[in-house]
Chains A and B, each alone.
Chain A
Amino acid sequence: MGESKSRFKKMLTTEFYLLIFLVAILVIMKAAAPDFYSVNNIMTVLNYFSYLLIAAIGMNLIIITSNIDVAAGSIISVVAIVIAFVGKTGAPLPVFLIAGMGTGLVLSWLNGLFITKLNIPAIVATLATTQLFIGALPLVVEGSIYDLPASFTWLAFQAKIFGVIPASVAFAAVITAGFMLFMRYSRFSKKLYAVGNNKHAATLTGINVNKMMVLAFAIAGPLYGICGTIIATAGQRVTTTMGNGFEMTIIAAVVLGGTSISGGSGKIIGTVLGAFILSLITPAMNYIGLSSDWSDAVMGAIILLAVIVASISTLTKNKKVIIVPDQGAASPEAQAQTAPVGTAAPEVK
């Protein structure tokens, strides 16, 4: 009885609540707007979910190390322009995808180096590079790159699994599965968590804290690259602002997924659920008939709710009484003898 009760309690995790919330949205949509389940809409949602999730997994690693990256959106903008340049030549997906991942890697790595080498707080460093990246693009490109060839938009229009499912979903599935295994079974991931939990103790354990932080950014970079590639290839025109502001949705997905902004905790499965819920909001508003102007406010409200629920559950957990375990209790005589009575008698002279 007690066993099953505690097992039930263990199930009441952030992920569990998120799952219930997600199912609730899906059920409500079924009742309120059956059209929501049209193949077309489902595929649109899945595509958005996929690229949001891919970037959010990268962001999750960064947040686990107790950092933050507000440059993610601007990196995605840069990636979009870079791959448009490459794609304009008629290069196929693998070529510009690698170019995009490479761009993400370099820019995000730079962020990591700024933070660790110059000892600048992550939010300041990435805020500065955001301005730098966003500011540099219009200097290089005037407005947009357009008339991109069919080879460029192949991923969005032709690459369909079973003829309907966007290929981006496959990208997301493989990356998610890979990172789930990685976060559970690699020594590297344990070090990431350790750094986020307690930098000082991590150093004393022989972990190179700065290296781990740089690597978290370096891993996130190519993921932003993939995300940027999916976003950019959705049309024949690529503008200089395609990723601007997207970092907030990415961070929101991670935080909603239960990753603590102070670092050291958080699971990929949470990020998956967080990203999925956020992917549903805008289309759901549309189908219910509310203006999409509402969607930002609704997303904000959902995040606020999630944070409040998390905070209440920690508050109630902390209220429990500390009970001294009875194990190893010696008889009073033995206690009195072994306690340093003789040696420690008060010496008042």
Chain B
Amino acid sequence: MRELLTLKNIVKTFPGVLALDDMNFDLREGEIHAICGENGAGKSTLMKIVTGVYKPDSGEIVVAGEPVSFDDPNEAFAKGIAIIYQETSLFEEMTILENIFLGHERMKKAGPLTFIDYGKMRQEALEIFKIMDVELDLDERAKNLGMAQKQMVEIAKALSHHSKILILDEPTASLTQREVEALFGIVRSLKEQGVAIAYISHRLEEIFELCDRVTVIRDGKYISTKDVATTNKDELVADMVGRSMDNYYPKAEVQIGGELIRVEHLNQEGILQDVNFHINKGEIVGFSGLAGAGRTELALAICGFTKIDSGDIYMEGKKVRIHNYRDALNAGFVYVSEDRGKYGLVIEMSVKQNITMPQLANMRSGIFLDNKKELALAGRYIKEFGIKCPEEDFLTENLSGGNQQKVSVSKAIAMAPKLLILDEPTRGVDVGSKAEIHGIVSQLAEQGTTIFMISSEMPELIGMCDRIYIMKNGTVAGEVGRAEATQEKILKVALHVD
């Protein structure tokens, strides 16, 4: 197979940081080549060099046998290189059609003027959708699309460039199992058409399911390239973290107590229908389901962020009324959002400020804030949860995703909740931090915190939870215990097929 892209000895530094050190990577026609490494290993920097966003300090980029140097992303597009970023980069107020062709609109001449040729763009877009086997209204605005649909538009955008090289950066981070399958179908058919695909993912399962080769990078350095067929998960993880890891799901046995929370007949028009569940003290209870099944919506409703139409919530047998999040906090619930950048943390503030923020009232001496008390609280969690930061006053935006998540959880735990609601606690977090966060969750359960955990990663739920509720169409459609939980069982209920 022909090599379409070769990177040789790439070095890239940012002020004070050596981001890439003598990096090598190659991509062949018709292959899916995974790139994995922990957060901060340099994957994104590497991809930004391939797509012309950054210029390497030294090293060589060869595209289809020809050495190139890109000054901006348009030059990389012109060479047939397209990238789909982890956070989709669609323009929300613009239509699907405008998004697909943005920056390379098809033009037609009318005398001395050139006009955007909407007819031609429409026709081309429809042809691309046909290849991908998707149906979307080209005039729909991007803001009205779901995550999976946005990703489809991104792929259509890449195809509209007639890209020969496609880079996917964590494309499945916010997709459900079924959407992932649809995406994989498209990726495989592109591969058959000879497109070379670089696939960045934290989910090792996906690499084994989809990819041909895998390159591991660590701390900006090239570690290894292997055929997927001849390697295994443990080997990859060992390469990624530089040590071997043997326990991804360190779930400890915990004495389960009496009932902590019981929710009966919860309704929210058009969103939640007759939701019933209970969680016992010390349990870790998972909530599984497809995106849009109502898991996050359920968490938001019981925390008072959204208004419920009817239904009862009982804490330790007593009925509680929750109209807003303050009521929920008083009842002992704390919610940790799936989007830590947006709702979980104030990333421009320090680790200390984030952790102490919800309880500044307890951090006072007289009328002033007591920095010592703040430092003590923050320091305790930095130590306990192993948050990797040089000091308490370190800005959270400079932490890796995994460490940010630990700060987010610390903040919640510092409020001493009876029920900790974790929404996708390991989304976008690398393997090493993932295991650490699982360790923290298990440790919390041991210390008596009850945990309501939403996750789209079934292995995580199966590995961590005492019980799993499966949601579908806004209601609890099934329940499985730890002993009998398998992916097949959960999927069958989530898709509702008997």
Interface residues of A, Cβ cutoff 8 Å to B: 184-187, 190-191, 193-194, 196-198, 200-207, 260, 264-265, 319-324, 327-332, 335-336, 338-341, 343-349
Contact = CB atoms under 8 A, between A and B. Distances in A.
A332 B486 CA distance: 14
A205 B99 CA distance: 11
Contacts of B205: 340, 343-344
A205 B133 contact: no
18 contacts: A187-B103, A197-B92, A205-B103, A264-B93, A319-B270, A324-B290, A324-B293, A327-B134, A331-B497, A332-B491, A336-B488, A339-B181, A339-B487, A340-B205, A343-B233, A344-B458, A346-B463, A347-B247
A187 B103 CA distance: 7
B80 to A, nearest CB: 14
Contacts of B134: 327
Interface stretch (B15-23, B69-77, B362-370, B387-395): B69-77
Interface string B239-253: 000000011110100
B178 interface: yes
Contacts of A331: 497
Interface stretch (B55-63, B83-91, B373-381): B83-91
Interface in B90-114: 90-94, 98, 102-103, 105, 107
A205 B74 CA distance: 7
A334 to B, nearest CB: 9
Given A190-B94, A346-B462, 13 more contacts: A187-B116, A198-B90, A202-B91, A204-B85, A205-B73, A206-B75, A206-B77, A207-B103, A322-B146, A332-B495, A332-B497, A338-B181, A344-B205
Interface of B: 51-53, 72-75, 77, 85, 89-94, 98, 102-103, 105, 107, 115-116, 133-135, 146, 176-178, 181-182, 184-185, 204-206, 208-209, 233, 246-249, 251, 270-271, 290-293, 458-459, 462-463, 474, 486-488, 491-492, 495, 497
A348 B247 contact: yes
Contacts of B497: 331-332
Given A265-B93, A344-B487, A330 B181 contact: yes
A340 B251 contact: no
Most buried by B among A185, A336, A344, A345: A344
Contacts of B182: 327-328
Nearest to A262: B93
A204 B181 contact: no
Nearest to A186: B116
B73 A206 contact: yes
A204 B89 contact: yes
Contact of B491 (A205, A323, A339, A347): A339
Contacts of B233: 343
Most buried by A among B251, B290, B491: B491
Contacts of A196: 93
A80 B182 CA distance: 62
A201 B91 contact: yes
Contacts of A344: 205, 458-459, 487
